[in-house]
């Protein structure tokens, strides 16, 4: 039972990360109907940003600034960089293809993902970079409820993840910007005719979604400690799965999907074997797609004739 | 409206960017297109138009068959084999992506399935004594297996349109890698792969030399091209393209859309698996990373470069990609030919009039020497690095490019700046674009000499990514395809 | 009315809802042998929905669709097309990047049987079918005379003018060898001369090709010129049926087109 609860906690934390990446992915899909394969690589960029911020301020064991300040700088920089990069990608690679055949932006997205991965390899090298989180955030300072421990980093991830998701949900449902985003997602041309600046709205959506991926990258770096140029690919896949399982285009769906995938992974690793984790997650995806193609919280779309 | 307004310019004669409503203008444009060719090429074109497709294919095959006789070295022969393999794979991918319009991102797994299937049937891996089937048994078994696998993977396409299918197939490719790496290491060899695979053998005859595999692949490639050409003009080919164009209309015109899609999947899978068997036999060993996403993207780059939807395009794209990347990007000197050659060709093709072209070239050269001299005068170490490449190009540009003593860090910064500069170049219009061109070319040369030449394998991957992005944005029909028109609903 | 014989197409109490919206309510509709029936009604009346139900794109929520006496409700679109119901689309859904003749030949898929390997090896059955298909396509295109004449056959469909695209859609539908032809606004976007031509064409399709035809059309000249019978729909309900003059003058139809109180509308200007 304790083991179960511990795995549950780990699963929820990982799930929160996946949910953050899936959120951005789902938002972008919502406004552009584009699977942004490069989304996972923005997560990778975020993770690298966090790593270099730590190095900049003296390295993990000899920090020159207080830890909370360091965290804020990491998160803000990662969000800004990933967000900016996301906007740039949209502006220069996707916008010209908005009226192209469906397959063109998808292939472009694959190209961008490949480009980013290998540019990172060129710039940062192929070796694994390590955050060394325990050097500046003590492992023992977390919560202990009986035999179950929740580390400080996990608490941070959960709190920050929940806060971001709630604020995003509020942003989309309660603000003018959110209304514009929903309008563009529903019908781009109609939105344009109603005077909505569609390009601007799409750019903002890309910024928000990519920034979330960047933040998730930093948190993953803190939690898993390892950063390479390839971490984006597999997380990207998991985020696709989360978004699709939850219902692509739906924000609560992405959260639910992320949590489900995180927990499934955690339990499979804990109870079965880590060898089969990805294969089983893949199986879940296939099952959901075949049984409920619109996802758990998505709505089936009417075919227009 | 003012009266002085100049008369509206006639619509551009180029390929249509969207559905055109109005007069039947294709006939007019077609004759116009022929006139654009240089005069001395026109008889050749008329002759080519009169010759059917199969004499052309035969001539191309004969030319290719003569290559090994010209005394290709071992390395060139291997590049040739790789190129034929990729051409074959691009050809199969063309069926699924180019004709049926299904984005199959797990395609490389079928290649892997063929390779692993052949490896298991032709090595000591299965059972105590192993299985050593002759090719006339193992190849059909593998191909039938691939067809069934293709049908299974394609099954979701019955319910899933475009995007979802891409995800499912992408996962399938990943799952294949995971499977071969982690599951049943005793049989599949895990990360150590399968080694000691038999060569292709039949009727007591064994194919062991690379020359032999070159010819085998050439024969298979030509046969596949011919088969697909015949299939393209049959009811199946028409149904594939109809489904790509408009699935709903296709269904209303008696075409069973799901079945036709599944057939496209299976056909692509069989061709990929066939390539896989030859790959395994020629390499004598298979490892999971042979079938990773990077190779998938290479196949896509070949197909997209040549032109999805065109048989010739897919084959030429595959050949060009491998010959460029494997053949020339290995040695820094030859890589330099490609790099500088591409810049020169791009300038020659894109920049008009000649005066402007001359100005840009002169400005680039002058900019380089000036920058080198000034930087050298300020700090000697800033130009101490020298080109990382070798050969006459390196000595020619030694006093032109700036390569600092620590080329790595400077090259990295230069790379980031270069990417930004190129983006700006794409966005800039008119005079600004011309003005940005010399610094962009110069910076590209500096980054090339400082960093990219020293990392050929990474440069290669970056180039593949760039090919996909640039082709999709500037020429989605590929170098040889004709532009498609699509109504967005 | 053709009461004695079994009609070619019969919709019996067909219902369809999208969520809360009831698109069709207990709709009865039949088309007799070699009869041209027009469906009219204001936008959103459910005319195209009727077509989508007949061709299997939507499955009826209630009631039955019978074609030649057999129920076809719930069958897949391609199966229904094979049974002999062909259609055109209001929004023109040609295979734009295929040539004109390939558009027509593609529609013969269900009527041919050659497997891929037969086509690759050019075995006798594949060769014979290819010849027949080609002949059928040429015959169907020849029906449109100079409009889709031979020199256009190898052009891509996107190169055609709007009116020719509409004609090609009809030609493509004919290539499925239908018994019943559904035409969704065949005269939309055409000039008066072309509209007149379409009206004559519909008559020729019935007389020369022995087709039963169901037409959706807004242009009342076409409706008046080609229809044996007219059905008026509003909000998914049949509000009138009969000869053109009866239906066009029917108070319910006028009300559907002009609103509840035509007099008040006229006063407002």
Q: In whole numbers, what is the pLDDT of chain B averaged over residues? A: 83
| Contact (CB, 8 A) for B422 and A119 | no
Neighbours of chain C (3+ CB pairs under 8 A): A, B
| Whole-complex ipTM | 0.91
Angle among Cα B315, B316, B322 to the nearest 5 degrees reads: 95
Confidence tier at B486 by pLDDT (50, 70, 90): low
User: Residue C36's beta-bridge partner residues?
Assistant: C213
Task: Fill in the DSSP letter of residue C29.
Answer: E
Give the model confidence (pLDDT) of B406-429 as tens digits.
Answer: 888 888 899 999 999 988 888 888
**A108 and chain B: CB distance < 8 Å anywhere?**
yes
Of B81-95, B327-341, C75-89, C206-220, which range is least confident? Answer: B327-341
Please write the tens of the pLDDT for every residue from C104-132. Answer: 999 999 989 999 999 999 999 999 999 99
- Using a CB-CB cut-off of 8 Å, the residues of chain A touching C48 are 305
pLDDT at B425: 86
Task: Measure Cα distances from C221 to C156, C216, C238 in Å.
Answer: 32, 13, 21
**Order of strands, sheet of C229-234, starting from the edge strand that comes earlier in the sequence:** C85-87, C180-184, C212-216, C36-40, C229-234, C237-242
Dist. CA A178–CA A183, nearest whole Å: 9
Q: Is residue B160 over pLDDT 70? A: no
Please judge whether A305 and C57 are an interchain contact, meaning their C-beta atoms are less than 8 angstroms apart. yes
Which has the higher per-residue pLDDT, A73 or B157? Answer: A73
Q: How many CB atoms lie within 10 A of CB B210?
A: 16
- For C178-215, the pLDDT digits (tens) are 999 999 999 988 899 999 999 999 999 999 999 999 99
A296 touches chain B (CB under 8 A): no
The pLDDT value recorded for residue B2 is 40
| Minimum distance, in Å, between the CA of residue A96 and any CA atom of chain C | 21
pLDDT band at A52 (very low <50, low <70, confident <90, very high): very high
Residue C161 is nearest to which of B22, B238, B484, comparing CB atoms? B22
Residues of chain C contacting A, Cβ within 8 Å: 18, 48, 52, 57, 89, 91
- For residue A194 the two structure tokens come to 């109603």
Q: Is C195 near chain B, with CB under 8 Å?
A: no
Q: Is the pLDDT of residue A153 over 90?
A: no
Prediction pTM value: 0.88
Work out the percent of chain B whose per-residue pLDDT is above 70. 87
Judged against a pLDDT cut of 80, whether residue B26 lies above it is answered with: no
pLDDT at residue C264, rounded to an integer: 47
Do residues B53 and B231 touch, judged by C-beta distance below 8 A?
no
Cβ contact, residue pair B254, C78, below 8 Å: yes
Q: Which residues lie below 8 Å from residue B352, measured CB to CB, with a gap of 6+?
A: none
Which among A96, A104, A289 has the least Cβ separation from residue B156?
A289
pLDDT at position B27:
45
What is the percentage of chain C residues whose pLDDT exceeds 90? 58
Residues C63, C26 contacting (CB under 8 angstroms) = yes
Question: How close A59 comes to chain B (CA, Å)?
Answer: 20
Q: How far apart, in whole angstroms, are the C-alpha atoms of residue C256 and residue C249? A: 12
Q: Cα–Cα distance between C257 and C218 in angstroms, integer?
A: 11
The mean of the pLDDT values for chain C is 88
How far apart are the C-alpha atoms of B431 and C97, rounded to whole Å? 37
Give the DSSP letter string of A21-35: HHHHHHHHHHHH---
Are the Cβ atoms of A305 and C18 closer than 8 angstroms?
no
Residue A14: name the closest of A296, A171, A219 by CA: A219
The 3-state DSSP class for residue C22 equals strand
Average pLDDT of the residues of chain A: 87
Which tokens sit at C207? 């007389």
Question: How many degrees, rounded to 5, is the angle at CA B229 between CA B226 and CA B231?
Answer: 110
The residue behind tokens 């169907």 is: C140
C154 vs A142 pLDDT, higher one: C154
Residue B35 scores a pLDDT above 70: no
Using CA coordinates, name the residue in chain B closest to A105: B472
Contacts of C89 in chain A (CB under 8 A): 305
Of A19-23, A145-149, A196-200, B116-120, which range is least confident? A145-149
The neighbours of chain B, by the rule of 3 or more Cβ pairs under 8 Å, are A, C
Chain A residues in contact with B248 (beta carbon < 8 A)? 303, 305
Beta strands in A33-164 (DSSP E): 129-130, 143-145, 148-150
For residue B20, what pLDDT is reported? 38
Q: Which pair of tokens denotes residue A71?
A: 């965290």
| Cβ pair C215, C38 in contact under 8 A | yes
pLDDT band at A300 (very low <50, low <70, confident <90, very high): low
**Number of cross-chain residue pairs from A and B with Cβ atoms under 8 Å apart:** 135
Within 8 A by CB and 6+ apart from A212, the residues are A20, A21, A23, A24, A79, A164, A168
Q: Is A303–C18 a contact, with Cβ atoms under 8 angstroms apart? A: no
Mean pLDDT of the region B191-199: 88
Least confident range of B120-129, B264-273, C212-221, C253-262 = C253-262
Best mean pLDDT range from B43-52, B117-126, C207-216: C207-216
């Amino acid at each position: 039972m304790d083991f179960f609860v511990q795995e549950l906690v780990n699963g929820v934390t990982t799930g929160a990360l996946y949910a953050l990446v899936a959120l951005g992915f789902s938002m972008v899909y919502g406004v552009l109907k584009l699977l942004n394969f490069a989304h996972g690589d923005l997560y990778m960029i975020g993770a690298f940003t966090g790593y270099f911020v730590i190095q900049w301020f003296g390295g993990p064991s000899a920090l020159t600034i207080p830890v909370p300040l360091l965290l804020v700088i990491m998160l803000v920089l990662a969000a800004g960089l990933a967000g900016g990069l996301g906007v740039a990608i949209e502006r220069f690679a996707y916008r010209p293809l908005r009226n192209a055949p469906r397959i063109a932006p998808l292939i472009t997205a694959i190209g961008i993902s490949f480009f980013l991965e290998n540019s990172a390899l060129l710039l940062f090298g192929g070796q694994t970079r390590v955050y060394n989180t325990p050097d500046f955030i003590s492992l023992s300072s977390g919560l202990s409820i009986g035999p179950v421990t929740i580390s400080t980093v996990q608490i941070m991830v959960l709190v920050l993840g929940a806060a971001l998701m709630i604020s995003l949900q509020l942003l989309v449902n309660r603000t003018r910007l959110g209304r514009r985003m929903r309008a563009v997602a529903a019908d781009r041309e109609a939105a344009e005719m109603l005077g909505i600046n569609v390009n601007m709205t799409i750019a903002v959506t890309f910024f928000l979604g990519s920034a979330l991926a960047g933040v998730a990258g930093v948190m993953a770096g803190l939690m898993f400690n390892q950063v390479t140029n390839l971490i984006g690919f597999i997380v990207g896949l998991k985020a696709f799965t989360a978004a699709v399982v939850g219902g692509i285009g739906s924000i609560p769906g992405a959260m639910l999907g992320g949590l489900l995938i995180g927990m499934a992974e955690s339990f499979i690793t804990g109870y079965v074997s880590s060898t089969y984790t990805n294969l089983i997650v893949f199986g879940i995806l296939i099952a959901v797609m075949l049984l409920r193609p619109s996802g758990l919280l998505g709505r089936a779309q009417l075919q227009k004739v | 409206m003012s009266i002085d307004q100049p008369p509206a310019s006639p619509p551009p004669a180029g390929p249509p960017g969207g559905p055109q409503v109005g007069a039947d203008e294709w006939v007019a444009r077609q004759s116009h297109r022929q006139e654009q060719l240089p005069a001395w090429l026109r008889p050749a074109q008329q002759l080519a138009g009169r010759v059917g497709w199969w004499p052309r294919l035969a001539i191309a095959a004969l030319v290719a068959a003569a290559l090994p006789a010209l005394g290709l070295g071992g390395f060139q022969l291997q590049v040739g084999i790789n190129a034929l393999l990729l051409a074959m794979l691009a050809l199969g991918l063309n069926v699924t992506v180019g004709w049926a319009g299904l984005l199959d991102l797990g395609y490389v797994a079928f290649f892997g399935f063929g390779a692993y299937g052949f490896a298991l049937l032709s090595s000591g891996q299965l059972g105590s004594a192993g299985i050593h089937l002759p090719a006339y048994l193992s190849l059909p078994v593998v191909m039938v297996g691939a067809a069934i696998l293709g049908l299974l993977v394609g099954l979701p396409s019955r319910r899933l349109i475009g995007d979802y299918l891409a995800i499912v197939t992408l996962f399938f490719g990943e799952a294949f890698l995971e499977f071969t790496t982690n599951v049943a290491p005793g049989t599949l060899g895990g990360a150590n792969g399968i080694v000691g695979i038999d060569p292709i053998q039949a009727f007591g005859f064994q194919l062991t030399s690379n020359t032999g595999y070159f010819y085998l692949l050439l024969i298979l490639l030509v046969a596949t091209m011919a088969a697909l050409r015949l299939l393209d003009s049959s009811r199946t080919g028409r149904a594939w393209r109809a489904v790509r164009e408009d699935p709903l209309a296709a269904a209303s015109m008696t075409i069973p859309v799901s079945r036709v899609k599944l057939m496209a999947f299976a056909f692509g899978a069989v061709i990929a698996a066939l390539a896989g068997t030859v790959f395994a036999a020629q390499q004598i060993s298979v490892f999971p990373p042979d079938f990773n996403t990077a190779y998938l993207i290479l196949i896509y780059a070949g197909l997209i470069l040549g032109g999805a939807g065109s048989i010739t395009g897919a084959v030429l794209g595959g050949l060009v990609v491998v010959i460029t990347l494997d053949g020339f990007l290995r040695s820094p000197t030859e890589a330099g030919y490609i790099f500088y050659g591409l810049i020169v060709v791009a300038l020659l093709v894109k920049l008009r009039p000649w005066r402007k072209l001359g100005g840009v070239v002169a400005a680039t050269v002058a900019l380089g020497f000036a920058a080198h001299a000034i930087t050298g005068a300020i700090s000697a170490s800033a130009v101490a690095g020298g080109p990382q490449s070798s050969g006459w190009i390196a000595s020619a540009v030694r006093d032109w490019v700036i390569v600092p003593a620590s080329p790595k860090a400077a090259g990295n910064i230069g790379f980031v700046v270069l990417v930004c500069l190129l983006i700006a170049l794409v966005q800039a219009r008119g005079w600004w674009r011309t003005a940005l061109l010399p610094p962009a070319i110069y910076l590209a040369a500096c980054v090339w000499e400082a960093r990219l030449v020293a990392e050929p394998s990474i440069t290669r991957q970056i180039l593949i990514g760039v090919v996909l992005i640039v082709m999709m944005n500037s020429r989605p029909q590929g170098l040889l395809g004709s532009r498609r028109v699509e109504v967005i609903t | 009315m053709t009461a004695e014989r079994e009609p070619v197409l019969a919709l019996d109490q067909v219902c369809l809802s999208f969520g809360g919206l009831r698109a069709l309510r207990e709709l009865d509709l039949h088309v007799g042998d070699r009869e041209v029936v027009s469906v009219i009604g204001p936008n959103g009346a459910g005319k195209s929905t009727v077509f989508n139900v007949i061709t299997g794109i939507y499955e009826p929520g209630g009631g039955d669709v019978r074609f030649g006496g057999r129920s076809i409700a719930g069958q897949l679109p391609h199966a229904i097309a094979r049974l002999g119901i062909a259609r055109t689309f209001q929004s023109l859904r040609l295979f734009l990047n295929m040539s004109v003749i390939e558009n027509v030949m593609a529609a013969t898929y269900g009527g041919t049987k050659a497997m891929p390997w037969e086509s690759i090896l050019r075995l006798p059955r594949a060769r014979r079918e290819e010849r027949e298909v080609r002949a059928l396509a040429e015959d169907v295109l020849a029906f449109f005379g100079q409009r889709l004449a031979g020199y256009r056959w190898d052009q891509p469909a996107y190169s055609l003018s709007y009116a020719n695209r509409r004609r090609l859609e009809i030609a493509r539908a004919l290539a499925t060898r239908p018994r019943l032809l559904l035409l969704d606004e065949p005269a939309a976007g055409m000039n008066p001369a072309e509209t007149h031509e379409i009206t004559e064409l519909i008559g020729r399709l019935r007389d020369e090709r022995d087709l039963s035809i169901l037409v959706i059309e807004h242009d009342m000249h076409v409706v008046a010129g080609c229809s044996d019978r007219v059905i008026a729909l509003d909000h998914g309900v049949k509000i009138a049926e009969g000869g053109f003059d009866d239906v066009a003058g029917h108070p319910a139809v006028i009300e559907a087109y002009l609103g509840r109180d035509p007099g008040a509308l006229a006063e407002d200007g």
